[in-house]
């Protein structure tokens, strides 16, 4: 299993989740019945497809070993397997939360040390 996994979300949503100790999901997560996560090689495409030009985002690195059996790998975009969490995301599984900045072309800049 790839380590870590990643969750992209608004800074405000992460701050709100801190009082609960877990993240319940975005409106898309709640609609789909699971929390959308990405493996490292999926992050840039996910940003471009679902978060283009959005400000005040964080990239959470998540330890998949702390997610238990609620983590499932399921076929999605282009037949690739994506990690889906069928439970709230426990904040004690978050290894880091790094801001995503935009460059002059409104493309997200991945944090230092992030490589595909």
Output the domain CATH number for residue 55: 3.20.170.20
List Cβ neighbours of 112 (8 Å cut-off, separation of 6 or more): none
H-helix or E-strand spanning residue 85: strand 81-85
pLDDT in tens, 29-84: 999 999 999 999 999 999 999 999 999 999 999 999 999 999 999 998 788 899 99
Which residues form the domain of 66?
5-99
Query: Residue 76: its pLDDT value, please?
Result: 86
Residue at 109 is within a domain: no
Asked if the structure places residue 51 within a domain, the reply is: yes
The two three-digit tokens of residue 94, written as one number: 């978050």
User: Burial letters for 81-103: b for 16+ Cβ neighbours within 10 Å, e otherwise?
Assistant: ebbbbeebbbbebbeebeebeee
Q: Nearest Cα to 58, choosing from 29, 87, 16? A: 16
Given this model, what pLDDT does residue 115 score?
61
The two three-digit tokens of residue 102, written as one number: 């935009």
pLDDT greater than 60 at residue 113: yes
- Percent of the chain predicted with pLDDT > 90: 87
Domain contains 48: yes
Looking at the domain assignment, is residue 65 inside a domain? yes
> What total of structural domains would you count in the chain?
1
Q: Is residue 108 part of a domain?
A: no
In a domain, 112, yes or no: no
Instruction: Look at residue 44 and tell me if it is in a domain.
Output: yes
């Amino acid at each position: 299993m790839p380590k870590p996994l990643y969750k992209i979300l608004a800074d405000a949503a992460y701050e709100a989740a801190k009082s609960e100790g877990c993240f319940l999901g975005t409106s898309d997560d709640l609609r789909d019945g699971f929390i959308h996560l990405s493996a490292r090689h999926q992050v840039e495409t996910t940003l471009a497809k679902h978060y283009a030009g959005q400000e005040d985002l964080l990239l959470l690195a998540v330890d998949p070993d702390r997610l238990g059996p609620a983590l499932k790998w399921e076929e999605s975009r282009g037949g690739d397997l994506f990690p889906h969490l069928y439970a709230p995301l426990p904040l004690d599984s978050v290894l880091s939360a790094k801001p995503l900045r935009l460059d002059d072309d409104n493309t997200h800049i991945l944090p230092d040390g992030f490589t595909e």
